[in-house]
Structure 1
Amino acid sequence: MKITVLSENTVPVSFGLTGEHGLSFCIENQGKTFLFDTGQTGIAVSNAKKLGIDLKKTEAVVLSHGHYDHADGLEAVLKEIGHPVKIIAHPSVFDAKYIVSANSKRYIGMKLRKEFIEGFLKASFEFHKSFTEIFPGVYMTGEVPFTNPYEKIPDALQVEKNGKLEKDFFEDDNSLILESGKGLIVLLGCAHRGIINILSSVKEKLNQPIHAVIGGAHLHDTGNEQFDFVKNYLKKEKIALLAPSHCTGIPKIFELQKDLHEKVQPAFCGSVFEF
């Protein structure tokens, strides 16, 4: 199994790639190639070429949720793939999402509509709300329950329902789980429902040890109480690799490294993980 970061906020200088506020992974596993998220602008396509990855081999695209920085690279990616593929997501992925403050409201949902993707880009959709095996040994979490009092979604993240804005509880938030000989590999998009809620759900569903956790943990704006809860949980778990990125935030990644030491290896743009 090989996992390559095609799009992410940070690029090591020596890689010669381009970064963006976004996230995209290419997964090559058991003869299948598929993407988890597409980044924001299509940079995933140019970075894939520089990394020697042929996106035309892609069989499917899995979307973690409907935010622009994970899904707006979809048009460029599908055009590069050049043949009809399956897009796997939660049915709420097209909900109108906003970030709201006292003086502003900014749209942060997907720009593409389902009709355009199906009609013009010739992709098809497979929607799941619950935990599902999407390929042999590959699962999507579906709607993860909130099981602790610490991981909370900021009130500023909202969704439009029936013409009114309300707090977004991210029904569409999905993570990927891949079985490997070393244990489970968990890929996070943004972990809006909480990294610990997600890992607890994965352990309950599959009853297997978690070997690695890779991706966005949405810790950049967390307070001390929530961050300490997450950090202490991760210290107790026998996870061999924690590879945070994107919305985890660089300062929080460094704080995790202080306590978890060599287990923490940031998943920056161009990073490759093999299991």
Structure 2
Amino acid sequence: MTKKILKTITQKSNNLLQRLVYELDFRINNPMNRLLNDFQHLFRKNGLNICYNRFISRDYKLDKKNILIAIDSPAVVEYRKWLKPEMEFIAEISFANYYNLKHYYCPRELYIANDTHVYLKPSREYKKNRLVSMIYSNSKILEGHKFRHKVAELFKDQIDRYGTGADPSKKTTDLKKIITLDKYMFQIAIENGKYPEYVSEKFYDCVKTRTIPIYPGGEKAIKKMGFDREGILFFDTIEDLEKIFDEKVSKSTYKKKKDAIDYNLKRLIEIRNERKLNFFFNTLK
């Protein structure tokens, strides 16, 4: 087994990185200890070493062949300064390819199976009788946080706002996210930062509930994953968003996009099933 893994890396393949991501996918809501211990035990025998998220600096070893796993939002990775210019890695799993490595894998589908906030219920009928919602916290640290607050304030008369950003007196645990999607045709979903290959559950939760995401970012990843962009309203600036509200936020637009909405839900289910099969077959190897 160890010889096969070494051969895979030597041959400049990303199969190993994909397998790591399949493992990560099914532990995304759980502590990483078991996964890291399993792989570290195997890798360290051959001078390999995993450096994961906030533990990167702690786990980085000069005398090892380090593998980087930075799968949080790139905005968080950069703000927390988890990476140092002098660090060297032989392979990387991330949303940004920070070290421009040849042995690189982008886990753009990683959060597609994350049902932490909203469960996937394909047969559920959603009675969409409200237009636009937005959920955001009271955090104002990252650029995405600040942009959320700006959008929420500028469009407060046109959207229903939820979360501690809208009402600081409320606890995060007081709100079930499904309430912000269930009856809504559209939701403004803003990530912590805008990156072409980063997509989180903020986008996927909309797709699960047949809600059209009004989304600034991730367009490259969304295209690669095969979603129908007709079922998504992309924007970059406040001016773009104003135009969307003036021209596209309506019951008639939602009805016109029904085929794209249905297709995107179908595509999400297909990707989830593909990942489950890949995980199953890789565990048999």
TM-score, normalised via structure 1 length: 0.30
The structure with the largest alpha-carbon Rg is 2
The structure with higher relative contact order (CA 8 Å, sep 6+) is 1
Q: Which has the higher strand share?
A: 1
Q: Which has the higher helix share?
A: 2
